[in-house]
Amino acid sequence: MLPALLTDTVSTDLDRALHYALLWGHEGLVLRTMGRHGERIPYVNEAKLRRRLDEHEMPLVAVVPGLFEGAASDRAQGFTDLGELTEVAAFCQRFGCGIALVGALADDPDADPAAGADLLRRAGDIAQRHQLCLAVCNAAGTACASGHSLAKLLDAVGHPHVRAAWNPVAALRGGSSLAADALAADALAADVGALAGHVAFVTVRDGRGEAEAWSESAPGEGAVGWSTHLAALRAGGFDGPLCLEVHGEPTGPFGLQATTSLVQLVRAQRRSERNA
């Protein structure tokens, strides 16, 4: 498991984001937008990005290009996203990046249940040609808010290059009970069990509260129960990027605290595995 930073949750300025990633102890970057005007991956200054990554020996572990977030019934948008994915996959190949995060498509009661799976299967074929993994994100307001629904979609897709980008906080805020940490932990444990063998990427946040009144905390101090959660993910075969999103304020102190907690959790998990 590799601690990584989603850079634009700190800054869209690459140099500033890299400074914090290195200072805090991250081992990889995840890019969504960068530059003065917040250009979206892959339409960014590649020359500068390559120089900075090489200078700091920092790998680009995943990108978030904003694809497959529309309704499955919108065929025109689906074909547009497939075309964009070819550009994203070529970008990733140039940078040695192995994962691209994509949406699970919008929650669309009018869509044919098989349409979304078919679209993502076609996307998987494109990814396979470029040795890229597509990691589908669970999120509130999409076809997959929970781990169970995401696992069901991935089973329907049935493609080795289409896997899961698991976000436990998104699952909690998308409908799981937050009345007590024990209930939250039980719900997430069931989700992780359903996703066993599917997870390629994990988004790291933590906190407590109702869906509309969420309070951020450092990993391990909120409702997720990250120590137990990491152990369950590892038992299910996960060994990929743990991507920190910095949503607490002020950004600098909160990012340092959150990263420190994350690194400690990873080290504790590694010790536990060595001693097993």
For residue range 21-51, what is the model confidence (pLDDT) as tens digits? 999 999 999 999 998 777 999 999 999 999 9
> What is the rounded distance in angstroms from the CA atom of residue 132 to the CA atom of residue 183?
36
With a cut of 80, say whether residue 185 has pLDDT above it.
no
- Report the run of H or E that residue 69 belongs to, with start and end: none
pLDDT at 211: 58
With a cut of 50, say whether residue 177 has pLDDT above it.
no
> What is the rounded distance in angstroms from the CA atom of residue 160 to the CA atom of residue 153?
13
The alpha carbon of 217 is separated from its chain's Cα centroid by a whole number of angstroms, namely 18
pLDDT at 209: 77
In the structure, how many helices (H) and strands (E) does the chain have?
9, 12
Contact by Cβ (8 Å): 130, 87: no
Q: Tell me the pLDDT band of 212, cut-offs 50, 70 and 90.
A: low
Question: Is cis: bond before 250, omega within 30 of 0?
Answer: yes
> Helical H runs in the chain?
14-24, 46-56, 75-95, 113-129, 147-157, 168-173, 181-195, 226-235, 251-275
Average pLDDT value over all residues in the chain: 91
Q: How many residues does the chain have?
A: 276
Looking at residue 114, its amino acid is A
pLDDT at 175: 60
Mean pLDDT of 121-133: 97
Global pTM value: 0.93
| Residue with the larger pLDDT of the pair 264 and 276 | 264
> What is the rounded distance in angstroms from the CA atom of residue 165 to the CA atom of residue 65?
14
Q: Tell me the pLDDT band of 150, cut-offs 50, 70 and 90.
A: very high
Looking at residue 203, its amino acid is T
With a cut of 60, say whether residue 273 has pLDDT above it.
yes
209 phi, psi to nearest 5 deg:
125, 180
- The CA-CA-CA angle for residues 87, 8, 80, to 5°, reads 25
For residue range 213-248, what is the model confidence (pLDDT) as tens digits? 788 999 999 989 999 999 999 999 999 999 999 998
Mean pLDDT of 97-115: 87
With a cut of 90, say whether residue 180 has pLDDT above it.
no
Tally Cβ neighbours within 10 Å of residue 123: 27
pLDDT at 179: 47
